[in-house]
Amino acid sequence: MIFIDTGAFFASKVKNDVNNPSAVKIEKEIQQGKYGKMITTNYILDELYTLLRGRVSHEETIQIGETIRRSRNIRIIWILEALEEKSWDFFKEHQDKTYSFTDCTCFVVMRSLGINIAFSYDSHFEQAGFRIIG
């Protein structure tokens, strides 16, 4: 399994993003099964939609969102109360880091599912002990 982060989704969908060429290549590898099933969270999608809305049209944001939400290859984990509480505890325990709360939700989900690899352009994943591709 591989965790997909906000920046990776964005870079793979927005052609003028600096990371688009590498993101498209990695996305193809993932679709060919190189890393297993894709996992993300509703918090990542929230970040993505907000980022997209500020950088591309509302219509394009909806198209990208619908494609992701309908994909049979992407499992969306919903951050509900129990995961949010664990994430809050993780956030509190790492005051020496500049992790966002959304980062912490990702790390908790990844650990709970035994995921070691993230498709991300965020070095916080490496700081938290995960391998990133991107």
* pLDDT for position 115: 98
Residues lower than pLDDT 50 in the chain: none
Q: Where are the domains of the chain?
A: 2-133
Nearest CA to 90 among 105, 80, 79, 77?
Answer: 105
CA–CA separation, 90 and 92 (whole Å):
5
* pLDDT for position 113: 97
CA–CA separation, 83 and 105 (whole Å):
7
* pLDDT for position 128: 97
* pLDDT for position 134: 84
* pLDDT for position 20: 95
pTM of the model: 0.94
CATH topology of domain 2-133: Rossmann fold (3.40.50)
The token pair at 80 is 């509900």
